[in-house]
RNA sequence: GGGCGCGUAGCUCAAUGGUAGAGCAGUGGCCUUUUAAGCCAUUGGUUGAGGGUUCGAGCCCCUCCGCGCUCACCA
């Protein structure tokens, strides 16, 4: 397919030709940089404070974000990873030929390098007086942004790229013109770093387990299927790490965690992307109860590391993660919210009938657990704005969790909610191999084999458990959603660098 | 998958069914401390794609593509 250039791009291609005809390489191999933009400004301020006469000589590099030619002089701003700094080009300093070169052939978006002396302009802005400059990389396509304005020291961008489709399809352009987008991903990295530090300091071992799996499991989700050609074997992209991580407990690794990608072949929404990042950890001799306190401690640690605060704003709410978080049983929460005591309805049929009496609409053919889960999502989750642990879940939607003693319908499990979203999910892990096998078979009966959430029986997992698995508590949390909370973004696409979009048809 | 909305210049946006426009960017010119610099001139469009109605369609109708919101779905 022949690439078609716009008139703006053709103008810049002609500039490349002109540069080359003058013996100037528009994409030189190397740059020499002595200071970042902010470091150069700092160096000048330091020299000023010391009232030294020593001139601050620097070589800076960055992307041209503003040019203001005024005849015999021209002001420009370049932006680098640290910030932005003004450049002053003067014909007296450079000569007419170099001045013309800059004004005629350099464009917004080009990467350039400039050397000279730092000084302060009449308006007080610390600026590089340019003695030498060169092109580092010519931009052919103009950046999708208008010029910047500086108001009281703050950069105000006009006509900034806002079309979500372009922003996500051409995330590089979004990042290039929207600095706050870059900040989201710095925050995201800081969150992951804080989680690792927290777990590493507590004796956890970070591990990696298979992404390509012969049997998927550990969650109720439809998998992506792929194929190994040479082995002639279908494989699944993992939907969770759970079953592999717990195998490691059998092997004597008592505290393990993994941060990585899960893949679920389901609909996309503001809080669902087909691939997303998950943290899971498993702790021998822990249980769901101790995991609640551990979760509170971990989230507080992350917030303090990343935000320097336990309080943040999300979607117009001030959220405070200071422990203890609200704790309420799923049963009690549903009594409060919809007036149904699930303990009174031991079967799916009776619960569905009760829901109809309360003018709710039970999904046809759903199991008791799925009905409860449905009410949870509709009537509980959106209202859990402040951090809340919901605990004691129905057994039939939790096939890997251990029974609550004395209550055969309920398992020791909790989910943590913040900002009206499920953030994490944890339970006391089932470690009885015979019961685990029975649970898988139970699932097999209740969910038809056509059901997308049908759980395949992982015999090797049973085999592992039969060697003896220490009692343990497991935990899973969506990193994307935690990032949404800490950056006050309300769509998962904002916190994923390259979110999934439908392919565009070539024409 | 259903419903609602959106798609116009590189970006942000206008345009009762009646000649497709503005700001910024671009191009040419003036301009030696500006900062969305300013001033003068000027280029730029298959209005997402295709079909239909009409004397005439960016606008009305149909199909398709993409995006958003929402519902369904989602341990």
Which pLDDT score is estimated for A98?
A: 95
pLDDT at A347 over 50: yes
Q: Using the structure, give the distance in angstroms from the CA atom of A74 to the C1' atom of B30, rounded to a whole number.
A: 14
Q: Using the structure, give the distance in angstroms from the CA atom of A121 to the C1' atom of B22, rounded to a whole number.
A: 34
pLDDT at A151 over 80: no
Q: How many C-beta neighbours within 10 Å does residue A138 have?
A: 21
β-pairing, A212-213 with A275-284? unpaired
- Which residues of A in 303-362 have their CB below 7 Å from strand B's atoms? none
Q: How many C-beta neighbours within 10 Å does residue A435 have?
A: 14
Q: How far apart are the first and last CA of chain A?
A: 10
Which pLDDT score is estimated for A446?
A: 59
Q: What is the DSSP letter of A363?
A: P
pLDDT at A331 over 60: yes
Q: How many C-beta neighbours within 10 Å does residue A225 have?
A: 11
* pLDDT band (50, 70, 90) for residue A265: confident
> No. of H helices and E strands in chain A?
15, 21
Q: Which of A157-161, A262-266, A283-287 has the highest mean pLDDT?
A: A283-287
- A293-327 burial, b if ≥16 CB within 10 A, otherwise e? ebbbebbbbbbeebbeeeebebeeeebebeeebee
Q: Using the structure, give the distance in angstroms from the CA atom of A305 to the C1' atom of B35, rounded to a whole number.
A: 36
- Taking alpha carbons only, the member of A249, A246, A239 closest to residue A452 is A239
Q: Are A433 and A448 in contact (CB under 8 A)?
A: no
pLDDT digits (tens, 9 = 90+) for A5-39: 888 999 999 999 999 999 999 999 999 999 999 99
Q: How many C-beta neighbours within 10 Å does residue A331 have?
A: 20
* pLDDT band (50, 70, 90) for residue A242: very high
**Range from A106-115, A144-153, A295-304 carrying the lowest mean pLDDT:** A144-153
**Range from A94-108, A272-286, A364-378 carrying the lowest mean pLDDT:** A364-378
pLDDT digits (tens, 9 = 90+) for A182-221: 999 999 999 999 999 999 999 999 999 999 999 888 888 8
Q: Using the structure, give the distance in angstroms from the CA atom of A473 to the C1' atom of B75, rounded to a whole number.
A: 16
pLDDT at A60 over 90: yes
Q: Whose C1' is closest to the CA of A71: which nucleotide? A: B31
- Which residues of A in 137-176 have their CB below 7 Å from strand B's atoms? 142, 144-151, 158-166, 168
Mean pLDDT of A151-158: 58
* pLDDT band (50, 70, 90) for residue A504: low
Residues 6+ apart with CB under 8 A from A208: A258, A260
Q: Whose C1' is closest to the CA of A66: which nucleotide? A: B35
pLDDT digits (tens, 9 = 90+) for A410-459: 999 999 999 999 999 999 999 999 999 998 887 766 555 545 555 678 89
Q: Whose C1' is closest to the CA of A269: which nucleotide? A: B74
- Which residues of A in 378-407 have their CB below 7 Å from strand B's atoms? 378, 397-400
Please give the ipTM for the structure prediction: 0.89
Q: Whose C1' is closest to the CA of A476: which nucleotide? A: B75
- Taking alpha carbons only, the member of A461, A507, A469, A499 closest to residue A244 is A461
Place of tokens 């990295």: A189
Q: Using the structure, give the distance in angstroms from the CA atom of A503 to the C1' atom of B75, rounded to a whole number.
A: 30
Q: List the domains of chain A with CATH numbers.
A: 7-160 (2.40.50.140), 181-325+386-495 (3.30.930.10)
Q: Using the structure, give the distance in angstroms from the CA atom of A37 to the C1' atom of B3, rounded to a whole number.
A: 51
DSSP A27-58: S-S----S--HHHHHHHHHHHHHTT-----EE
Query: How distant is the alpha carbon of residue A476 from its chain centre?
Result: 15
pLDDT at A296 over 60: yes
Q: Are A64 and A108 in contact (CB under 8 A)?
A: yes
Which pLDDT score is estimated for A453?
A: 53
Q: How far apart are CA A486 and CA A484, in angstroms?
A: 6
Which pLDDT score is estimated for A146?
A: 65
Which pLDDT score is estimated for A362?
A: 84
Which pLDDT score is estimated for A507?
A: 39
Which pLDDT score is estimated for A451?
A: 52
- Taking alpha carbons only, the member of A54, A109, A63, A55 closest to residue A87 is A63
pLDDT at A176 over 50: yes
Specify the 3-state DSSP secondary structure of A11: helix
Q: Whose C1' is closest to the CA of A413: which nucleotide? A: B75
Query: How distant is the alpha carbon of residue A347 from its chain centre?
Result: 40
With vertex at residue A263, the alpha carbon angle to CA A284 and CA A400, rounded to the nearest 5 degrees, is 35
Q: For chain B, which bases have at least one atom within 7 A of a protein Cβ?
A: 1, 9-13, 23-28, 30-38, 43-44, 49, 65-75
Q: Using the structure, give the distance in angstroms from the CA atom of A252 to the C1' atom of B74, rounded to a whole number.
A: 34
Specify the 3-state DSSP secondary structure of A359: coil
Mean pLDDT in chain A?
A: 90
- Which residues of A in 72-91 have their CB below 7 Å from strand B's atoms? 72-73, 75, 77, 86, 88, 90-91
With vertex at residue A217, the alpha carbon angle to CA A216 and CA A220, rounded to the nearest 5 degrees, is 115
Mean pLDDT of A250-273: 91
Q: How far apart are CA A214 and CA A248, in angstroms?
A: 18
Q: What is the DSSP letter of A503?
A: P
Q: Whose C1' is closest to the CA of A267: which nucleotide? A: B73
Which pLDDT score is estimated for A482?
A: 96
pLDDT digits (tens, 9 = 90+) for A62-81: 999 999 999 999 999 999 99
Q: Using the structure, give the distance in angstroms from the CA atom of A502 to the C1' atom of B72, rounded to a whole number.
A: 20
- Which residues of A in 189-248 have their CB below 7 Å from strand B's atoms? 218-221
**Residue A467 half-sphere exposure toward CB, CA atoms < 13 A:** 12
């Amino acid at each position: 397919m022949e690439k078609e250039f716009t008139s703006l791009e053709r103008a810049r291609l002609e500039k490349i030709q002109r540069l080359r005809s003058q013996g100037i390489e528009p994409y030189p191999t190397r740059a020499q940089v002595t200071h970042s933009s902010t470091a150069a400004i700092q160096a000048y301020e330091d020299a000023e404070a010391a009232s030294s006469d020593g001139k601050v000589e620097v070589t800076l590099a960055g992307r041209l974000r503003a040019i203001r030619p005024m005849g015999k002089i021209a002001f420009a701003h370049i932006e680098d990873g640290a910030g932005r700094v003004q450049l002053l080009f003067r014909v007296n300093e450079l000569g007419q030929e170099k001045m013309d070169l800059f004004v005629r052939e350099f464009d917004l978006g080009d990467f350039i390098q400039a050397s000279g002396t730092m000084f302060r302009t009449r308006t007080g802005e610390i600026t590089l007086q340019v003695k030498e400059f060169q092109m580092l990389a010519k931009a052919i396509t103009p950046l999708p942004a208008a010029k910047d304005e500086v108001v009281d020291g703050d950069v105000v961008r006009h006509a900034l790229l806002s079309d979500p489709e372009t922003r996500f399809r051409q995330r590089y352009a979004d990042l290039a013109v929207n600095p706050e987008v870059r900040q989201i991903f710095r925050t995201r990295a800081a969150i992951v770093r804080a989680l690792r530090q927290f777990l590493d300091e507590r004796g956890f071992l970070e591990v990696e387990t298979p992404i390509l799996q012969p049997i998927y499991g550990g969650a109720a989700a439809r998998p992506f299927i792929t194929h190994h050609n040479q082995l002639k074997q279908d494989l699944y992209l993992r939907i969770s790490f759970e079953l592999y991580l717990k195998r490691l407990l059998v092997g004597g690794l008592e505290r393990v965690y993994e941060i990585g990608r899960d893949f679920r072949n389901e609909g996309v929404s503001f809080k669902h992307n087909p691939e997303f990042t998950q943290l899971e950890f498993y702790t021998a001799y822990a249980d769901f109860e101790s995991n609640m306190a551990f979760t509170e401690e971990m989230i507080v640690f992350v917030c303090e590391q990343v935000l320097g605060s336990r309080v943040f704003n999300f979607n117009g709410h001030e959220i405070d993660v200071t422990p203890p978080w609200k704790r309420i049983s799923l049963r009690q929460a549903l009594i409060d919210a919809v007036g149904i005591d699930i303990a009174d309805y031991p079967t799916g049929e009776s619960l569905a009938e009760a829901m109809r009496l309360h003018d709710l609409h039970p999904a046809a053919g759903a199991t008791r657990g799925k009905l409860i889960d449905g009410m949870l999502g509709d009537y509980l989750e959106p209202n859990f704005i402040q951090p809340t642990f919901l605990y004691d879940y129905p057994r039939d939607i939790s096939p890997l969790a251990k029974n609550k003693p004395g209550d055969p319908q309920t398992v020791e499990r909790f989910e943590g909610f913040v900002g009206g979203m499920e953030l994490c999910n944890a339970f006391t892990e089932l470690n009885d191999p015979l019961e685990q096998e029975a649970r898988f078979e139970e699932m097999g009966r209740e969910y038809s084999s056509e059901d997308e959430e049908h759980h395949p029986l992982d015999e090797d997992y049973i085999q592992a458990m039969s060697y003896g698995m220490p009692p343990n508590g497991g935990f899973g949390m969506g990193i994307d959603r935690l990032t949404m909370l800490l950056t006050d973004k309300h769509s998962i696409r904002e916190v994923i660098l390259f979110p999934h979009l439908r392919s565009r048809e070539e024409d």
